[in-house]
Amino acid sequence: MTAPLEGIRVVEIASYVAAPAAGALLRDLGADVVKVEVPHGEIYRHSTPRTNGIRHPFPEAAHFQMDNRGKRSLTLDVTRAPARRALTRLIAQADIVITNMLPGRLVKYGLDPATLRADRPELICARVSGYGPDGANADEPAFDYTAYWARAGFMDQMRDEGVPPSFLRGGVGDHALALSVVTGVLAALRVRDKTGAGQVVDVNLLHVGLYIQGNDAAQALATGEAPPRHDRSRPRNPLWNHYQTRDGRWIFLVMIESDRYWPTLCKALGLEDLAADERFSGPVERYRGSEELTARLAERIGERSLDEWRKVFADHRLIWAPVLTLQEAVAEPAAEEAGAFVEVNHPTAGSFRSVAAPLRMSGSDLTSDVPAPGLGEHSREVLAEVGLTPDEIDEALGGR
C-alpha cells in the first residue's frame, strides 16, 4: 500500500507535546519526519514513568514514544551559527517545517516563516503557540494547562457546582491541537499541489480550547451568558447524569432524548411505577421534578454493583457507560476492536503497547508501531543526506 505522504519531508523544531504529536501523525501517514532536538534531549524524552509517580521500571518515556514514533533524531544547538547553517540546509530540502518556538526566538535565529519562505515560497510552515502569532500574548510561553484549559474557560466550566476547578491531565489539549495542525498541513499540501505555493499554518491552544468546548462557547458568544454548570443532584435531565453504584463505582446515563428511553430505563431499573407517574411523564415534568426523581434513581442504582447493572443493562437498549479507571479502559475489548493500540518493539525497552493514530484508512497502512528514535541517532545521516561534508557535520554538531 502507498503511504499518503510518501516522499514528503518534515522538519520538526519543537519540544513537549503539541507540535511533536502533529509530527507523529504526519509520520504515521508516511512522511519522513526529522526531529530537531537540543543536544541533551528535551525534558519530555527523559520523563520516565517513575518521574511521574508510577512505580513500574519501564525505562523509556512512554508518552514521548507515542508522540515521536518513527521520526529521525537530529541534535543541534541552534544558538551556534554552524548548527543554524546546517539546519537551514536541511530546511532547504524540506516540504514542511513544524515548530512551537516563540515568534521572537524564531526571528532571532532566522527560523521565522518570512525568512524561511523568502527564497522558497513553496515551503509550508506550521506554527504552534499558546495565543497565536500576533497580539500582546504572542511571545508568552504556554502549556495546554494555561492557554487551552485555564484561559479558555474550560477549567472553570468543567466542574460540578460547589467544587474547586479540576486539574488537566497531561497532553489533553496538545493532542487536540495536533489534529488541527495536521488538518491545516494537509490542506496546505493540497493547495500547493494545485498552485505550487506553500503557506503558513497557525494553530494556537487558546483557540483550540474554545473550539473543543464550542457548544458552550458558541452559546456564550451569542448570549453573553455561560451555560449553567451541571448539578448532579438536580440535572436538567435526570436521564443524562452520573450515578453511584453500591460498590462505589459510577454509571453515566446519556439518554438525551429522554422521552424515547424513559419507559425502557424504568423497566431496566425495576421502577415501572415511575413510568406511570404523571409527575414525570415528559421532559418538562422530569425537569421540574428533577431533584426528587434524581434521588429516586440514585437510590435504586445504589442498590446494586456495577457488574450487576452491566448484566441488567445488557438486556435493554440504553445509552450508558460505566465510568472506567484508566487501567480498565486500556484493557477494554472495545478499545482493542476499535484499533486504538499498537505493539511497539523497542531496541532496548523491548515490546510494549502504545496508542495508535486515531484513524484508519482502507487503502493505506499507518505506521504507529515504530519506536521513537534515540537521541541524535540520525544526526550524521540526515546532515550527510543534505550535502554537508564530514567536516561541516563535525562543526554543526560541535565536535560530537
Q: Which of 304, 322, 340 represents a domain boundary (last residue)?
A: 322
DSSP string, 64-78: HHHHTTT-EEEE--T
- As a whole number of angstroms, the distance between CA 319 and CA 313 comes to 9
Q: Which amino acid is at 256?
A: I
Q: For residue range 136-146, list pLDDT tens digits in order.
A: 999 999 999 99
pLDDT(16) > 80: yes
Q: Which of 300, 322, 344 represents a domain boundary (last residue)?
A: 322
Q: For residue range 272-285, list pLDDT tens digits in order.
A: 999 999 999 999 99
Q: Does residue 169 share a domain with residue 296?
A: no
Q: Does residue 88 share a domain with residue 118?
A: yes
Q: Does residue 167 share a domain with residue 89?
A: yes
Least confident among 124-133, 178-187, 277-286, 357-366 = 357-366
pLDDT(392) > 90: yes
**Is there a domain that residue 355 lies in?**
yes
Domain count, the chain: 2
Q: Does residue 288 share a domain with residue 269?
A: yes
Q: Which of 287, 322, 357 represents a domain boundary (last residue)?
A: 322
pLDDT(333) > 80: yes
- As a whole number of angstroms, the distance between CA 158 and CA 168 comes to 10
Mean pLDDT (whole number) for 216-226: 96
Q: Does residue 290 share a domain with residue 146?
A: no
pLDDT(360) > 90: yes
Q: Does residue 306 share a domain with residue 204?
A: no
**Confidence (pLDDT) at 331:** 96
Q: Model confidence at 259, in pLDDT bands (50, 70, 90)?
A: very high
pTM: 0.95
**Confidence (pLDDT) at 161:** 81
DSSP class of residue 340 equals -
Q: For residue range 152-209, list pLDDT tens digits in order.
A: 999 999 988 888 999 999 999 999 999 999 999 999 999 999 999 999 999 999 999 9
pLDDT(248) > 90: yes
Q: Does residue 74 share a domain with residue 195?
A: yes
Query: Containing domain of residue 15, as a range?
Result: 9-212+332-396
Grid cell in block for residue 160: 460540578
Q: Does residue 351 share a domain with residue 316?
A: no
Q: What is the mean pLDDT of the chain?
A: 96
Grid cell in block for residue 360: 484508519
Q: Does residue 151 share a domain with residue 59?
A: yes
Q: What phi, psi does 27 have (nearest 5°)?
A: -65, -40
Q: Does residue 89 share a domain with residue 19?
A: yes
**Is there a domain that residue 22 lies in?**
yes
Q: Residue 318, SS3?
A: coil
Q: Does residue 143 share a domain with residue 63?
A: yes
Q: Does residue 291 share a domain with residue 343?
A: no
Q: Are 257 and 316 in contact (CB under 8 A)?
A: no
Q: For residue range 25-55, list pLDDT tens digits in order.
A: 999 999 999 999 999 999 999 999 999 999 9
- As a whole number of angstroms, the distance between CA 244 and CA 327 comes to 19
| Residue with cell string 503539541 | 18
